[in-house]
Amino acid sequence: MHDVAARAGVSIKTVSNVVNDRPHISAETRERVDRAIAELDYQVNVSARNLRLGRTGMIGLAIPALSVAYYGELADLVISRAAEEGLTVVVEPTAACRDAEIDALRGARRRLTDGLLIAPVTLTAADVTHLSAAGPLVILGEDVLDPAFDHVTMADVDGARAATELLLAQGRRRIAVVGPAPGEESKAGGLRLTGYRQALRAAGVPYDESLVVAAGAWGREDGARAALSLLDAGLAPDAVFAVTDTLALGVLHTLRTHGVAVPEDVAVVGFDDVDEARFSHPTLTSVSPGRAEIARTAVRLLQRRLVADGPVEPVVHQAEFRLVERGSTGADRAADSGE
């Protein structure tokens, strides 16, 4: 910067002003400085600027893993939105592990970033003591852990209700649910089960607990196994609502290998609307949780805290969902793929 100033025949302060696009600089001076910058191939030193400004321009994104389709797609969106705000994202995979989530909250990495976006899987409301570690924070996820923090949630209950209503409208009455673990009322699976029950109640269809199958984890194989247990038990459902797309894809697999026609014999709906749902066989009807809106809102809320002087009123934002109908509920599939 000294060199640039010397070459342009101005003071170092003027160079700084030009670089930071300050007003009150004569066009002629600005041009001279710009030329000097170009000639010397000068680039500002980010570390020095950060030191002086007391911020790093970076935010953390703590999620279970990038290899999980939902989070990989979310990360792409967050990175893109953050870039528009001039922010750089550091991804911290937590492997859905409690220690890693706490570390994201309190660890050294936290000092490296100005703020944190975290999608907690294992943390509970009781862990908010850990969250008290200072610094701007936005929580992504289903349940509101502590209303003292910003939350960006999705419409688990309403989305699940809409999915169930679609099945009911087709005359389906024995609608199985795959995924919810007992006792997880406030997590995604539990909330989505709540939406399902609301739809049943509104339609006057009795709730049959034997049609609810837990799935262990949320992988394809868990869905396949759950569907198998449904078939083996002779429960003869005429529809399945799986609380995630990966589970639904596993369900589709089992139904296919057992000669059950989808959607004729059994309709299937998932949740998440991952890319793979557009290409499965049949294509998968799913609740799109508004990933783009979630990413956008999360970055915006965090940025709001970054630029704020004083304390900021916490916000809970729920993204709008959309039910995307595809082949697994009999929708026209012509637009879905090239087949």
Which parts of this chain interact with DNA (CB under 7 A)?
Answer: 1-2, 9-14, 16-17, 19-20, 23-26, 28-29, 44-45, 48-49, 51-54
Residue 257 lies near a second copy (rule: CB under 8 A): yes
The whole-angstrom separation of Cα 225 and Cα 307 is 49
**Phi-psi category of 24—alpha, beta or left, where left has phi over 0 and alpha has psi -120 to 50?**
left
Residue 16 interacting partner from a second copy, DNA, none (CB closer than 5 to 8 Å by kind): DNA
- Minimal distance, residue 139 CB to a second copy, in Å: 21
The whole-angstrom separation of Cα 76 and Cα 69 is 11
Closest CB to a second copy among 106 and 197? 106
Residue 26 interacting partner from DNA, a second copy, none (CB closer than 5 to 8 Å by kind): DNA
Scanning 92-239, the segments in alpha helix (DSSP H) are 98-106, 109-112, 128-131, 156-169, 188-203, 220-232
C-alpha distance from residue 270 to each of 187, 241, 274 (Å)? 17, 6, 10
Residue 79 lies near a second copy (rule: CB under 8 A): yes
The whole-angstrom separation of Cα 98 and Cα 218 is 18
Residue 88 interacting partner from a second copy, DNA, none (CB closer than 5 to 8 Å by kind): a second copy
The whole-angstrom separation of Cα 332 and Cα 269 is 15
Strands 137-140 and 175-179, by their bridges, are unpaired
- Minimal distance, residue 175 CB to a second copy, in Å: 23
58 neighbors 114 (Cβ within 8 angstroms): yes
The whole-angstrom separation of Cα 321 and Cα 108 is 36
C-alpha distance from residue 246 to each of 96, 98, 206 (Å)? 17, 23, 27
Site string for a second copy, 35-64 (x = CB under 8 A): --------xxxxxx-xx----x-x------
- Minimal distance, residue 115 CB to DNA, in Å: 18
Degrees (nearest 5) of the Cα angle 293, 296, 300? 135
Binding to a second copy (CB under 8 A) within 319-338 occurs at 337-338
Residue at 9: amino acid letter: G
Closest CB to a second copy among 133 and 307? 133
The whole-angstrom separation of Cα 249 and Cα 252 is 5
Size of the site for a second copy (CB under 8 A): 52
Binding to a second copy (CB under 8 A) within 208-237 occurs at 219-222, 224-225, 228
Token duo for residue 50: 């950060």
Residue 289 lies near a second copy (rule: CB under 8 A): no
- Of positions 20, 67, 129, 210, contacts a second copy by CB under 8 A: 67
DSSP label of 186: T
Residue 19 interacting partner from DNA, a second copy, none (CB closer than 5 to 8 Å by kind): DNA
Token duo for residue 228: 């198998």
- Minimal distance, residue 30 CB to DNA, in Å: 7
- Minimal distance, residue 134 CB to DNA, in Å: 14
151 neighbors 138 (Cβ within 8 angstroms): yes
Binding to a second copy (CB under 8 A) within 99-158 occurs at 108-109, 111-112
Residue 11 interacting partner from DNA, a second copy, none (CB closer than 5 to 8 Å by kind): DNA
Point out which residues bind a second copy (CB under 8 A). 43-48, 50-51, 56, 58, 65-69, 72-73, 75-76, 79-80, 88-93, 108-109, 111-112, 219-222, 224-225, 228, 249-250, 253-254, 256-257, 275-276, 279-281, 337-339
